[in-house]
Amino acid sequence: MSTLADVAALATVSKSTASRALSRPDLVAPETAARVRAAAEQLGFVPSRVASQLARGRTGIVALVVPTLDNTFFTPIISGAQARADLADLQLTVSVNPMEEPAQLRAFERLTRQVDGVIVVAPRGADELLQAAGALRPTVLVDRELAGMSSIVADTATAFGTLMRRFIADGHRSVAYIGGPEGSWQDRQRTRAVTEAAQGRAGLTVLGPAPSTFAAGVSSVEAVLACGATAVVPYATSIGLGLVFGLHARGIASPGDVIVSTERMVAEALGGGTIPAIDVDGEGLGTAAMAALADALESKGAPAAPVRRRLSVPVFWPGA
Amino acid sequence: MSTLADVAALATVSKSTASRALSRPDLVAPETAARVRAAAEQLGFVPSRVASQLARGRTGIVALVVPTLDNTFFTPIISGAQARADLADLQLTVSVNPMEEPAQLRAFERLTRQVDGVIVVAPRGADELLQAAGALRPTVLVDRELAGMSSIVADTATAFGTLMRRFIADGHRSVAYIGGPEGSWQDRQRTRAVTEAAQGRAGLTVLGPAPSTFAAGVSSVEAVLACGATAVVPYATSIGLGLVFGLHARGIASPGDVIVSTERMVAEALGGGTIPAIDVDGEGLGTAAMAALADALESKGAPAAPVRRRLSVPVFWPGA
DNA sequence: ACCGGTTGCGCAACCGGTTGCAGAACGTTT
DNA sequence: AAACGTTCTGCAACCGGTTGCGCAACCGGT
């Protein structure tokens, strides 16, 4: 393992010059920079992150907190954040933490002290916990908005409203919305949106709350049939998938007798263009969040005003 | 942010004594240790990980490399590893990297140098890449075996063989195995196992290779019907789920006309005890791998012989 | 020839812990 | 009482980069 000192010696310059040549080449003579670079190359020099972290007083690590990995909604967010982190030369560490109980908050605090900034995906965590979290380090919330904090959310509420209006325009008179987990921020937004859209134009049944699982979808078949809905908008992809499965298992055609909106990719696999779908760009959420965080870390001087972005969510309609 | 020096000053001891009092209390007088601890407490002292990493020459970070997060097979592994890492006081950083192309190997190497050890889940990566990886740092392979390297694998091959034998015993005369992604190590094991199990006892059609996706499952319906199989063992849960969907969509009952084995949880949701299933303990893989790695890191002196564990995979049969 | 202004580089002091080594203080053995 | 062994503590040198500051060389301008 060669160190900066080795490189400096080989290039016959001082450690300081070597350091500058590698990290801020504009501060040294081009010829010198080249010599140092060549020396580094020759020795296979890899700067020690730890040492530079210590010297700079920054870890260069950011944490991404997700409530669980069992939900395919979160994983693309991770990928997106990861990609963007690489760009900003930040190390990403993923931590699974629902942020719902005090013990989890403690774990979160321990984590937080070791990193420069945090991205938190906490659909259900308590407001106060999140607020406390944000006080410690620059923080970006994903898919949730909170006064005074930066956030990146997918505007699924609007998309759900659109779906609802389209269903009604298509002649559906009884529509169901299957709500998400208890306490979900997004669920509140979506419920509001679908309610407003249906207002006086069609019968809307709000089912749930339900966990975002396949099983929950399967077992919601009863309720859906009971309320006589001919179109269903489920909170989560997995719920929708379960529901369609449950319907099929009963010999009910979907799409056909009952139509269930879902997420783009799944709609493709299920019906190839015959099913209404929305396209939530999970990776986009991740990259946007990481970008916002990187910006916040950049402008270390000024605390920077909270960023608040809503990513629009396209709706795909059969035949459109 | 108070430092060790502050603590030492408050406790009127030297930095070295303060350090020892906190990390190796047996080396100082009990009374001193208590005083230092009190001082640390009073100042809310949190030792800087970075500083101690630099001094010790160990980062205390381990990396877990997974090929993708889009596959629910990998996520429990992460959770398991995470939990076990906490126990060993190791930071876990998850990196998404299929380890298939040279560029990815370079990224991997960069990552590797920053950590104490690595857990690699690379179902498809080339042997040489993995071997090269292992040379750099203590490495544990998951779900793949390679000469000279530690590995933890789920013994799905045996489980798949059992499924096959059961199907045959149940009277199925034409059975299909839907293979996994090209180059998958596990796929080779499983193909061998099912082939041996079917040997001369029933017609076996090996389909695939196919990516481990829902869509691939849906589009494998044709092939399954074409070969006249009445029982199917799919490589991945997602493939099986897609297949069942596809069958239902065509009005073919499953279970009924065609039976598809799957993973425990899914079987539960799909048919509640009517479908043969295996139960791969993903978390178990993760914890076992992390445990093995932690051990290897502990015994830094001796390189420690490679550990090779196979976790047995239970098979659930309807009515059993 | 003299001067203010770049430009490029090196010295040395950091960042915040860890640890080998030596010495002080005290107890034990002969 | 001398010699020796423990136990505890402090000094100072690390780990490997980063950066403020000062100095020398060199620039064109007058």
The reply to whether domains B61-155+283-316 and B156-278 share a CATH topology is yes
Q: Which 8-state DSSP code applies to residue B148? A: T
A134 class by beta-carbon count within 10 Å (0-12 exposed, 13-18 middle, 19+ buried): buried
Are B309 and B288 in contact, with CB atoms under 8 Å apart? Answer: yes
pLDDT > 60? residue A302: no
Tell me how far CA of residue A54 lies from CA of A48, A234, A293, in angstroms. 10, 49, 21
d(CA A219, CA B269) in angstroms, rounded, equals 9
Sheet holding B277-278, edge to edge: B262-263, B277-278, B315-316
How near does any CA of chain B get to the CA of A159, in Å?
24
**What is the number of CB-based contacts under 8 A between chain A and chain B?**
84
Contacts of B183 (CB under 8 A, 6+ apart): B124
Residue of B243 and B130 predicted with greater confidence:
B243
Tell me how far CA of residue B216 lies from CA of B66, B188, B213, B269, in angstroms. 21, 19, 5, 20
pLDDT of residue A41: 94
Q: Which 8-state DSSP code applies to residue A68? A: -
| Strand C close to A215 by CB, under 7 A | no
pLDDT > 60? residue B301: no
Indicate the pLDDT class of residue A303, thresholds 50, 70 and 90: low
| Strand C close to B16 by CB, under 7 A | yes
Topology of B61-155+283-316 in CATH?
Rossmann fold (3.40.50)
pLDDT of residue A300: 59
Q: Which nucleotide is nearest to B54 (CA to C1')?
A: D15
Indicate the pLDDT class of residue B270, thresholds 50, 70 and 90: confident
B200 class by beta-carbon count within 10 Å (0-12 exposed, 13-18 middle, 19+ buried): exposed
The model's pLDDT over A210-257, given as tens digits with 9 standing for 90+, comes to 999 888 999 999 999 999 999 999 999 999 989 998 898 888 888 889
Three-state SS for A255?
Answer: coil
The model's pLDDT over A251-275, given as tens digits with 9 standing for 90+, comes to 888 888 999 999 988 888 777 778 9
> Chain B contact for A274, CB < 8 A?
no
Parallel/antiparallel/unpaired status of strands B277-278 and B315-316 = antiparallel
The model's pLDDT over A148-173, given as tens digits with 9 standing for 90+, comes to 899 999 999 999 999 999 999 999 99
| Strand C close to B27 by CB, under 7 A | no
CA→C1' distance for B57 and C26 (Å):
37
CATH code 3.50.50.60 for A57-154+283-316: no
Q: Which residue is nearest to nucleotide C20 (CA to C1')?
A: B16
| Strand D close to B87 by CB, under 7 A | no
pLDDT of residue B59: 85
Contacts of B240 (CB under 8 A, 6+ apart): B178, B217, B232, B234, B260, B261, B262, B263, B266
Residue spans of the domains in chain A: they are 4-47, 57-154+283-316, 156-278
Are B212 and B236 in contact, with CB atoms under 8 Å apart? Answer: yes
Tell me how far CA of residue B250 lies from CA of A251, B177, B187, B243, B257, in angstroms. 10, 20, 28, 11, 12
CA→C1' distance for B320 and C19 (Å):
62
Are A241 and A262 in contact, with CB atoms under 8 Å apart? Answer: yes
B10-20 burial, b if ≥16 CB within 10 A, otherwise e?
bbebeeebbbb
pLDDT of residue A51: 93
Nearest by Cα to B69 from B212, B240, B235, B200 = B212
* CB within 8 Å of chain A, chain B residues 39-98: 46, 48-51, 53-54, 59, 69-70, 72, 75-76, 78-79, 82, 91-96
Q: What is the CATH number of domain B156-278?
A: 3.40.50.2300
Contacts of B100 (CB under 8 A, 6+ apart): B124, B125, B126, B129
* Residue range A66-81: mean pLDDT, rounded: 90
The model's pLDDT over B104-143, given as tens digits with 9 standing for 90+, comes to 887 788 788 778 899 999 888 778 878 887 888 899 999 9
Q: Which 8-state DSSP code applies to residue B123? A: S
CA→C1' distance for A22 and C2 (Å):
38
Query: What is the pTM (predicted TM-score) of this model?
Result: 0.83
Residue position matching structure tokens 């972290």: A53
* Residue range B184-190: mean pLDDT, rounded: 94
Q: Which residues of A touch B64 (CB under 8 A)?
A: none
